[in-house]
Amino acid sequence: MAHPGARMLLVAAMASGQGKTTVTAALARGLVRQGQRVRVFKCGPDFIDPMLLERACGATVHTLDLWMVGLQACRRSLAEAARDADVVLIEGVMGLYDGTPSAADLARAFDIPVLAVIDASAMAQTAGAVVRGLRDYGPVQIAGVVANRVASEGHRQMVADSLRDIPLLASLPRQARKLPERHLGLVLPGEVDDIDAILDELADQLHLDAQAWQALTPRLPEHLDQDEAIPPLLAGKTVAIARDAAFCFIYPANLDVLRRLGARLCFFSPLADEAVPAGADVVWLPGGYPELHTEALSRAAHWRGSIRAAHAAGLPILAECGGMMAVAESITDIEGRSWPMPALLPGRVVMQQRLGGLGSQEMPTPAGELRGHTFHYSQLDTGLAPVAYTVKHPSGAQGEAVYRIGSLTASYFHGFFASNPLAAARLFTKEAP
């Protein structure tokens, strides 16, 4: 029997802080517990929300972004998910119409109905005006509404009545226990001991209108050709990837691209004082939270010695954002304490309260532009001259510095390898920019 397709929804709101992640996680966990096959995507550049949503649904969460990922790749991912799942949920980014491109642009590109999340804690009948504004401004197709933080059944009913012809698909009461809050970015889901209990509680608290849910029509997007073949430019190469709580910002798509390039992947933990694995040809230090683990990293003698030896031996090393911070001379934490790092990159990193960089950017390479983004609260103080700068999207203004010293390429820029696999491959060779 042919697969009937999946119910597809983009979970969006008027602004950040309305409860998009909470609602998406609660809905995903609840449907999984009912035996549904659920796939979840995250709209826009993000690392932490996908970790949380992956915990909620039990499947890898990929990124959808019309600019960074691309229209065809997004379409392919959605089509594959709809063939494999009963439900496809996409968590939006910021407000529905925020950003270039926005979550609304994604919804319109693929004709995906929007599930509008409203923080109802400080409103009642005005919810109807907000939702109708969200619908008509674009316009977008509104599948229904989730009223978050409702105080009572009477409050929920007032919100429902205000929506007129738009169904109240679900509601959530004010939560006694919340999902982890962000600290200068985030707290990792794996660091919260009772995260699964919290997710189960949220699923239990979500009041889903079964009739309205059943009225949603499953869809099966058109069949698409496979990805274009990628030449095996990294065939025979072993890429050693730092992966632990300090180095955790890794797009699953980036690992897929490296494998398609022919690389063998192995992982190690600098936090556990593990050395760069023997036999590695390339080292990738992804972003994360080294600033939260400065003491452990500064004492990790095997790690520090091994990354210095890898650099001295000329192994290509890519250090992205947190990875770059971790190979500078030192990191000064938010309390003003300075911690020594391996000093592959001259200069010191200083944490600060205000945001140091945020937004979509692209890095020029001889193989074309590599798209990605930046997000950091620190600054690098160095006398080393950059070899290049990224370009901000959509303004075209100068973005992050890209440094090259020996075999090390370092920047605050996070690359999305699938946007240009050939450019990504160059970052793992001695011909890097």
The pTM of the full predicted model, rounded to 2 decimals, is 0.93
Q: Which CATH superfamily is domain 238-426 in?
A: Class I glutamine amidotransferase (GATase) domain (3.40.50.880)
CATH 3.40.50.880 segments of the chain: 238-426
Average pLDDT across each block of 10 residues of the chain; the chain has 433 residues. List them in order: 81 94 96 97 90 94 97 93 95 95 96 97 95 96 97 96 96 83 50 81 95 92 74 96 95 97 98 97 96 96 98 97 98 95 97 90 96 95 97 97 97 98 92 61
Structurally, what CATH architecture does the domain formed by 7-214 represent? Answer: 3-Layer(aba) Sandwich (3.40)
How far is the CA of 75 from the CAs of 10, 126, 222, 405, 428, in angstroms? 14, 35, 9, 39, 28
CATH 3.40.50.300 segments of the chain: 7-214
Q: Among all residues, which ones are annotated catalytic? A: 321
Q: Which residues are registered as beta bridge partners of 371?
A: 362
Helix axes 195-205, 48-57, angle to 10 degrees: 70
Most distant CA atoms of the chain, gap in Å = 69
